[in-house]
Amino acid sequence: MNKTYRYLLGCCVAGSLMLTSCNNQNAKSDQTMSTTEENSGTLPRDVHSYSKPTEAVTKHLDLDIAVDFEQKIISGTATYQIENLAKTDEIILDARDLQIEKVFLGDERTETTFKLGEAKEPFGQPLSIAIKPETKSITIQYSTSPEAAALQWLNPQQTAGKQYPFLFTQSQAILARTWIPIQDSPGIRITYSAKVKVPKELLAVMSAENPQQKNATGEYKFFMRQPIPSYLMALSAGDLVFRPIGEKTGIYAEPATIDAAAYEFAEMDKMLVAAEKLYGRYRWDRYDLLVLPPSFPFGGMENPRLTFVTPTVLAKDRSLTSLIAHELAHSWSGNLVTNATWNDFWLNEGFTVYFEQRIMEELYGKEYADMLQVLGYQDLQHTLDDIGRDSEDTRLKLDLEGRDPDEGLTDIAYEKGNFFLKNIEAAVGRERFDAFLNKYFKTFAFQTTDTDRFLNFLKSELIRGDEQLEEKININGWVYSPGLPENHYKPSSSRFANVEQAYTSWSQGTPAAQLQTQDWSSHEWLHFIRLLPEQMPQQQMAALDKAFNFTNSGNSEILAAWFLHTIRNNYTAADQALDNFLTHVGRRKFLVPIYKALAATPAGKRKAAAIYAKARPNYHAVSTSTLDEMLK
Ligand code: BES
Ligand code: ZN
């Protein structure tokens, strides 16, 4: 298996929780949208879910669960309001590593029969539940396994405060089924309520309306009135405090981290304003962040209303906040207009990278956004080299049938997707493209879209029979062909031109300390480090390190890029820092290239094995499943 992850380079349906949002005018329209939308007809079947939503589909979930840190188990009930569209005698959900105890039908909770089909990794099992044509609700009594892949249970030592345990979920792409029996397909949207019991010392938060402080009982209630796909179901519990940033924005973090986080993300409110100005009203009421412990396997996860974020972006200089712009942008591209299946993942991520860079441009100007674009372009080139430019997996429209959708999580979706959109923007002009995107988000809000649906919209709204334009946009080249079309838009950055100049003068003998680097941001540094030759003598490494202190950088992006050189060149002065980084940070994007670089030589492989043995308990299943495979 050759995985190349992106690196481097209606309110109140159930009635039980009639919360204030029911009075909100928006609530009604959002709910209406969910019920009028049909997941039928033109959209493709999701090959990564056992559910058959055209026959019987879930509409609303009431979750009632308890979180047991001793046993590392979540248990309770999931009650669904369903629509039995085909009047069938079964409804099928996805389940993986779940213990299903009992299943009931209706408000009266009459017990019914169920069957768990054959388990297939990583998809789990179909859970088919016997229903009647008139069945309106089902209740599943269940518990999770301590190995549930979506859940990471941290002991106090693995947190910033070192006093309390911590739990977080990661449901994307198909891990929601490891903590909730659910129709786990991005084309199926549900609203939800939840009652969650956690140890009294902890605060629980979800991808929903959230409490802002702990209560004495440890029991929390949640309501999510906007319909969301299963991969956005999220829960976390820990010693958390809340700090407001703007009126609609704020941050949850451990007390030890909250000040640093509030400084780092002080501009999140401005980002929200910029995003609304670009692509229309924010549809999710509040936008908060949850800063997780360092073992979080991703940079960020766009859980609605509450983005989960790695603490590795706390660089103390706000230099890595484009990640927040990215997750915020998902509130439109992904959460509001959602890819129908994981084969259309580029619709989520490519649009989001494009949108993220537009937000950054609004806040910090074009020169800043240009740097992000060039770095993204480098990532794309690197990924193309890695996967192979003629590999089918470099098409935007993927075919992941029978494979883990995680394998589609490459820079193709992100960066090739972004450059396809950039290419359209260049062809029609920004004004027209923005109007088009606005209309796209409005038209498909709270709905599902796939590549065909998007392309049809593109043809009817923008191309409109203009053959020259159609040729310029080159849909076939971008979407259905591998590699990159020959005449593609290539980004450039004036700020990077300075870096390249400095680099040239360094490579011609100017001592590192004499280079003009005073105004460099971490992006310029990253560009510089990426430019460095693969092979460098010890003395040259040491001189660079002495001048720029890379080994002790507080910036995770700089560290991760630098370590690739220290490993290749056996620059042992960085060994301690490397060891420390790998045992603390669980972000897969950093771990994979670093371990890969280590594993390239026999001695490095031994080093990698020793560090991995020690560090593995700190990593989330998402990271270990990749690394186990790589290091075996
Ligand atoms: N939604 C993704 C993370 C993801 C994708 C998790 C697929 C599981 C399966 C998130 O929005 C993301 O793209 N995160 C990036 C950061 C971003 C700035 C590119 C990451 O974690 O590196
Ligand atoms: Zn994303």
Residue 20: the pLDDT is: 31
Ligand 1 atom at minimum distance from 330 CA: 11
Q: Give domain status of residue 485, yes or no.
A: no
Give the number of other Cβ atoms within 10 Å of residue 533's Cβ.
10
Same domain, 154 and 194: yes
Residue 346 sits in the same domain as residue 219: no
Report the atom number in ligand 1 closest to the C-alpha of 622.
Answer: 8
Q: Which residues contact 493 (CB under 8 A, 6 or more apart)?
A: 367, 370, 371, 373, 374
Are 439 and 523 part of one and the same domain?
no
Which CATH number do you get for residue 439?
A: 1.10.390.10
- What's the CATH code of the domain at 284? 3.30.2010.30
- Residues 199-246: tens digit of each pLDDT: 999 999 999 999 999 999 999 999 999 999 999 999 999 999 999 999
> Residue 347 domain-assigned?
yes
Q: Does 380 share its domain with 469?
A: yes
Q: Is the same domain home to 166 and 293?
A: no
Shortest-distance atom of ligand 1 to CA 310: 21
- Of the pLDDT bands very low, low, confident and very high (cuts 50, 70, 90), residue 42 is low
CA of 332 to the centre of ligand 2 (A): 11
- Given pLDDT bands bounded at 50, 70 and 90, which one contains residue 40? very low
Q: pLDDT tens digit string along 178-203? A: 999 999 999 999 999 999 999 999 99
Q: How many Å lie between the centroid of ligand 1 and the Cα of residue 299?
A: 6
What whole-number percentage of the chain has pLDDT above 70? 93
For residue 267, being part of any structural domain is answered with yes
pLDDT on residue 28: 37
Among 5, 80, 414, 595, the active-site one is 414
For the chain, the average pLDDT equals: 93
Residue 38 inside a domain? The answer is yes
| Catalytic site includes residue 327 | yes
Report if residue 486 sits inside a domain: no
pTM: 0.94
- CA atoms of 577 and 343, how far apart (whole Å): 39
Looking at residue 43, its pLDDT comes to 79
Query: Does residue 15 have a pLDDT over 50?
Result: no
Query: What would the mean pLDDT of 456-479 be, rounded to a whole number?
Result: 97
Distance CA 632, CA 624 (A): 11
Q: Are 406 and 340 in contact (CB under 8 A)?
A: no
CATH code of the domain in which 93 resides: 2.60.40.1730
Q: What is the pLDDT of residue 35?
A: 35
- CATH number of the domain enclosing 539: 1.25.40.320
| pLDDT digits 0-9 by tens, 136-155 | 999 999 999 999 999 999 99
pLDDT of 272-302, one tens digit each?
Answer: 999 999 999 999 999 999 999 999 999 999 9
- Tell me: do 287 and 435 sit in the same domain: no
Pair 276, 198: CB distance under 8 Å: no
Residue 591 near residue 619 (C-beta atoms within 8 A): yes
For residues 562-599, one letter each, b for 16 or more C-beta atoms within 10 angstroms of the residue's C-beta and e for the rest, the string is: bbbbbbbbebeebbebbeebbbebbbbbbbbbbbbbbb
Q: Is residue 173 part of a domain?
A: yes
159 assigned to some structural domain: yes
Spatial separation of the C-alpha atoms in residues 621 and 129, rounded to whole Å: 29
Domain boundary among 331, 360, 390: 331
How far is it, in rounded angstroms, from Cα 532 to Cα 521? 17
Type and span of the H or E element at 74: strand 73-84
- 161, 306: one domain: no
**17 and 165 together in one domain:** yes
Please say if the pLDDT value at position 5 is more than 90. Answer: no
Domain count, the chain: 4
Q: Does residue 83 carry a catalytic annotation?
A: no
User: Same domain, yes or no, for 394 and 300?
Assistant: no
Asked if residue 487 belongs to a domain, the reply is: no
Residue 528 pLDDT more than 50?
yes
Residues 33-42, mean pLDDT to the nearest whole number: 42
Same domain, 547 and 509: yes
State how far the Cα of 574 lies from the Cα of 553, in Å rounded to an integer.
11
Of 302, 327, 362, 557, the catalytic one is: 327
Q: Give the domain-ending residue among 239, 270, 285.
A: 239
| Domain end (from 273, 302, 331) | 331
> Is there a single domain that holds both residue 541 and residue 420?
no
Domain span at residue 407 reads 337-480
pLDDT band at 44 (very low <50, low <70, confident <90, very high): confident
229 and 246, same structural domain?
no
Among 39-43, 70-74, 338-342, where is mean pLDDT lowest? 39-43
**Ligand 1 binding pocket includes 173 (Cβ within 6 Å):** yes
pLDDT at 37 over 50: no
Structure tokens at 286: 């509040």
DSSP lists the bridge partners of residue 221 as 195
